[in-house]
């Protein structure tokens, strides 16, 4: 760890210990890592006797409600907090409209696009999940990993790495996971609940969306429409993990999912293999993310957004190919 990170880690440790009423936030449309990181930090600080607030303005997916502490999650912050912690959140706007102007004390994240918006910023883009950062540092900061905290952290790592299969998984990530299992996390149970099990309506939603699957060269895409959602009876606003299915198609470098929301907003999600950095494309559209997985929200009709995004993604792929190099780095 660099000297800067070491100093930052010590500052974070003392901020965490001197707080009495920490407020813990993450990003809008929370994924498994967001929920898991907030719960792990929340449970750790609670065990230390602090009055903790864990806030997600839109609530969390039913999928993660099996995690201990999820019943304490609230939609709004109550006054009285004395420390603001943002986890897995690349910038303040991603915290949601309610919190975008908050002064954040601690920012712990692994997004390469993080703009260091807090007083103390521990941003480690080489880590595959924010939960992996917490799994490393919570014990160093003096907060023991209980079985419930271990379950949360392993869920965060599992979901962000799609079951340890993203290219940023290292031997160290597996050692961290092994430690979590030794601390009481149940790998089989968490894997089933967070990655394998799907509702019937989610499976139907996949069917409707996959019936429109298309590809051009090494680019594949499809969409989820509002109509699909209605027909499938799918209540969630997310993509039912369809991106994980798209990213499994062979001989494809980049897959794109267009998810139609209300009010002419299209959520676009890019996934890539190790040769293309899709966070660069997402940033062109005001979004962000990681080299292998990025997203943006674009206003327009599904058709308009699809045409525009596919054109730019395709030309980026061609450019990437003609450069003959891999700017994904490692």
Give the footprint of Mn ion on this chain (CB under 5 A).
33, 88, 130, 160
Closer CB to Mn ion, 26 or 148, in the complex: 26
* Nearest residue to the partner Mn ion, using Cβ: 33
69/289 with CB nearer Mn ion = 289
CB 131, min distance to Mn ion, A: 7
Task: Give ∠ CA 29-34-40 in degrees, rounded to 5.
Answer: 145
Rounded to whole angstroms, the Cα distance separating 231 from 229 reads 6
Q: Could you write out the DSSP letters of every residue in 208-262? A: HHHTT-EEETTEEEEEE-HHHHHHHT---SS-TTHHHHHTT-TT-SEEEEEEE-S
**Which residue lies nearer to Mn ion by CB, 30 or 69?**
30
With respect to Mn ion, which residue has the nearer C-beta, 53 or 130?
Answer: 130
CB of 87 to Mn ion, least distance (A): 9
Output the smallest distance, CB 250 to Mn ion, in A.
26
Nearest to Mn ion of 131, 219 (CB atom): 131
Q: Which residues pair with 24 in a beta bridge?
A: 54, 85
Instruction: Output the smallest distance, CB 252 to Mn ion, in A.
Output: 23
What minimum distance in Å lies between the beta carbon of 36 and Mn ion? 9
Decide if 89 contacts 25 (C-beta within 8 A).
Answer: yes
Bridge partner list, 122: 108
What is the widest separation between alpha-carbon atoms in the chain? 58
User: Min. distance of Cβ 44 from Mn ion in angstroms?
Assistant: 18
Query: Closest separation between CB of residue 251 and Mn ion, Å?
Result: 28
Angle subtended at Cα 56 by Cα 91 and Cα 62, rounded to the nearest 5 degrees: 125
Q: If we measure between CA atoms, which residue out of 273, 295, 300, 271 comes closest to residue 284? A: 295
Pick 69 or 288: Cβ nearer Mn ion: 288
Place of tokens 């420390």: 83
Classify the phi-psi angles of 92: left when phi > 0, otherwise alpha if psi is within -120 to 50, otherwise beta: alpha
CB closer to Mn ion out of 88 and 91: 88
The candidate with the shortest Cα–Cα distance to 208, out of 186, 181, 239, is 239
Minimal distance, residue 288 CB to Mn ion, in Å: 12
- Calpha distance 269→144 (Å, rounded): 36
Question: Which strands form 219-224's sheet, in the order they lie side by side?
Answer: 214-216, 219-224, 254-260, 265-272, 293-299, 288-290
Which of 22, 156 has the CB closer to Mn ion? 156
Kindly calculate the radius of gyration of the chain based on its CA atoms and give it in whole angstroms: 19
323/307 Cα distance (integer angstroms): 24
CB of 120 to Mn ion, least distance (A): 19
The nearer residue to Mn ion, 222 or 279, going by C-beta atoms, is 279
């Amino acid at each position: 760890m660099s000297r800067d990170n070491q100093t930052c880690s010590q500052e974070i440790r003392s901020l965490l210990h001197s707080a009495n009423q920490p407020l813990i936030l993450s990003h809008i449309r929370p994924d498994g890592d967001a929920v898991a990181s907030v719960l792990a930090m929340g449970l750790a600080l609670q065990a230390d006797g602090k009055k903790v607030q864990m806030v997600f303005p839109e609530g969390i997916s039913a999928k993660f409600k099996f995690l201990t502490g999820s019943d304490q999650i609230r939609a709004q912050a109550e006054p009285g907090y004395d420390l603001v912690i943002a986890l897995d959140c690349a910038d303040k706007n991603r915290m949601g409209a309610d919190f975008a102007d908050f002064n954040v004390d601690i920012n712990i994240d692994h997004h390469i696009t993080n703009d260091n918006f807090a007083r103390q910023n521990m941003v480690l883009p080489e880590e595959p999940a924010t939960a992996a950062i917490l799994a490393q540092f919570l014990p160093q900061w003096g907060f023991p990993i209980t079985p419930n905290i271990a379950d949360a952290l392993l869920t965060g790592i599992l979901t962000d790495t799609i079951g340890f299969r993203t290219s940023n998984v290292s031997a160290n990530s597996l050692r961290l996971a092994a430690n979590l299992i030794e601390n009481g996390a149940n790998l089989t149970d968490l894997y089933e609940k967070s990655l394998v099990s799907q509702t019937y309506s989610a499976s139907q939603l996949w069917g409707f969306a996959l019936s429109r699957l298309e590809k051009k060269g090494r680019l594949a895409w499809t969409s989820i429409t509002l109509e699909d959602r209605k027909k499938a009876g799918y209540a969630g606003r997310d993509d039912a993990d369809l991106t994980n299915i798209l990213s499994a198609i062979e001989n494809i470098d980049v897959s794109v999912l267009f998810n139609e929301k209300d009010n002419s907003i299209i959520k676009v999600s890019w996934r890539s293999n190790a040769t293309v950095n899709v966070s660069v494309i997402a940033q062109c559209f005001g979004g962000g993310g990681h080299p292998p997985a990025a997203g943006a929200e674009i206003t327009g009709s599904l058709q308009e957004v699809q045409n525009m995004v596919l054109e730019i993604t395709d030309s980026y792929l061609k450019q990437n190919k003609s450069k003959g190099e891999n700017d994904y780095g490692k």
